[in-house]
């Protein structure tokens, strides 16, 4: 996503908004292994809400996760 930086004098310069990505190691008890994911903050909230197994299943269906 892109937008503008707006200074005190109202001069506008272009900028980009980047996603809030975090690198996290997550344990999957069903497979008894750890995986490393680069996941957004909102993705972490989804994992906490649904659980890692359900979140990975949904990600595989949408083509976001190949593991």
Detail the DSSP E strand segments found in 1-67: 2-6, 12-16, 21-28, 33-40
pLDDT of residue 64: 81
CATH number of the domain located at residue range(s) 2-62 in this protein: 2.30.170.40
Q: Does residue 66 surpass a pLDDT of 80?
A: no
pTM, whole model, 2 decimals?
0.69
Please work out, in degrees rounded to the nearest 5, the angle formed at the alpha carbon of residue 35 by the alpha carbons of 22 and 26: 60
Higher pLDDT, 59 or 12: 12
Per-residue model confidence as pLDDT tens digits over 16-51: 999 999 999 999 998 999 999 999 999 999 999 999
């Amino acid at each position: 996503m892109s937008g503008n930086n707006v200074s005190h004098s109202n001069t506008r310069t272009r900028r980009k908004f980047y996603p809030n990505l975090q690198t996290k190691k997550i344990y999957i008890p069903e497979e008894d292994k750890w995986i490393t994911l680069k996941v957004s903050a909102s993705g972490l909230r989804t994992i906490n809400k649904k659980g890692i197994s359900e979140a990975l299943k949904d990600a595989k269906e949408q083509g976001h996760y190949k593991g």
